[in-house]
Amino acid sequence: MSNDDLYSPTAGKRPRRAFLKSVALAGAAVAGTSMMAATPAQAAQTWKIQSVWDAGTVGYRLFEEWCNEMEEKTNGELIFKPFPAKSVAADNNALFDAVRNGVLQGMNPFTLYWSGKIPASVFLSSYPAGPDQPHQWDTMFYSMGMLEKTREIYKKFGLFYVGPIQHDANIIHSKKPVNSLDDLEGMKIRVPGGMVAEVFQQFGVSTVSLPGSDIFPALEKGTIDAADYVGPAVNWELGFSQVTDYILFGPPGVMSIYQPVDLMDLTVNMRAWNNLDPKLQKIVEEQVRNYSQRHYLTIQKRNVEAMEKFKEAGDTVSRLSQDDLMRFRKAAIPIWYKWANKDEDARAIFDMQLEYMMNDTVGYISEEDIEGME
């Protein structure tokens, strides 16, 4: 602009008009941005997820609380609608199929339930005399490739295995005292099927499989002598103290020698998973890991409180010996291999775990223990 232009009668008008125009354009841009920000990136998705926890138990209350937080965690983009056991799918087989078929988008089961459908699942939760510390399972899943292999296996069934959820050890409530493995002979005990039942049968136990809701009446009627289920917190809520007088643990520091780390998980329909934005997938994975710790620690606290209640009610605790544990492991090892050889997926998971158990940092198994096994 020249000096003459500066003193022209029209000087400043063009800049003023340009300024007003730029303000108007900027305002429109801001308004447009606000409208875009007010609109979610995508419509909210709702997942119906059924747990195997019965309504009213500490397990289901924790699951329900966690599900109800997911909407906030995802800024309203994903909603988890929880359901207790049997509310949509009437039994475990129906639950598995409901998630595969998309009737439910997800489930929160005990992973071991699928041993008849996915043989590898017996090695995705603790098994007789196997790894018995929760951190060992987290190490195998998150640091040694077991999570990735598990997802490959579940993909064949149209499912996505999000991750393990730490739960508890399983213990046995008995109508008569058990102080050693020899005392089990001739008893009729409710235990999970599959590998667990087969190992107990080696010690003269007659095993029966019952859903959790049927255990109390079976003990009350005397149709079974004892029952395995979960840990003290939930078993107290289910009233086991009213129908049994004895609780069986493993050696000191080991609650259970047959299912010391009974894992649950979150598994979802593969189509539902693939429909999620990768950002939401990451959030769900992170929240499952967070929930696993929260679930485990809360139940451990409740276990301590429940054991005091059992003692006040007159229940007596007995423990198996370290020698019993070694005998149990010796009986279990051939059955490990039997299940590992059911298919290539089961063998792949088992081989990962066997290598870990034989490592000197763990030292559960030696070359001598598995001599002749294939």
Binding residues for substrate, as ranges, are 170, 190, 228, 259
Name the DSSP letter for residue 361.
Answer: T
State the DSSP string of 92-140: HHHHHHHHHHTSSSEEE-BGGGGTTT-GGGGGSS--TTS--SHHHHHHH
Could you list the residues known to form a binding site for Na(+), using ranges.
229
360: Cβ–Cβ under 8 A, 6 or more apart, which residues?
none
Tokens at 103, concatenated: 């009737």
Name the pairing type of β-strands 172-174 and 106-108: unpaired
Considering only CA atoms, which of 205, 210, 204, 206 is closest in space to residue 192? 210
Tokens found for residue 282: 């990451």
What end-to-end distance do the CA atoms of the chain give, in Å?
92
Q: How far apart are CA 9 and CA 14, in angstroms?
A: 11
Distance CA(24)–CA(26), nearest Å, equals: 5
Residue ranges for the binding site?
170, 190, 228-229, 259
Burial profile 53-87: b = 16 or more Cβ within 10 angstroms, e = fewer: bbeebbbbebbbebbeebbebbeebbebbbbbbbe
Taking the C-alpha atoms of residue 250 and residue 132, their distance in angstroms, rounded to an integer, is: 11
Q: Is 89 in contact with 98 (CB distance < 8 Å)?
A: yes
Give the strand pairing for 262-269 and 106-108: antiparallel
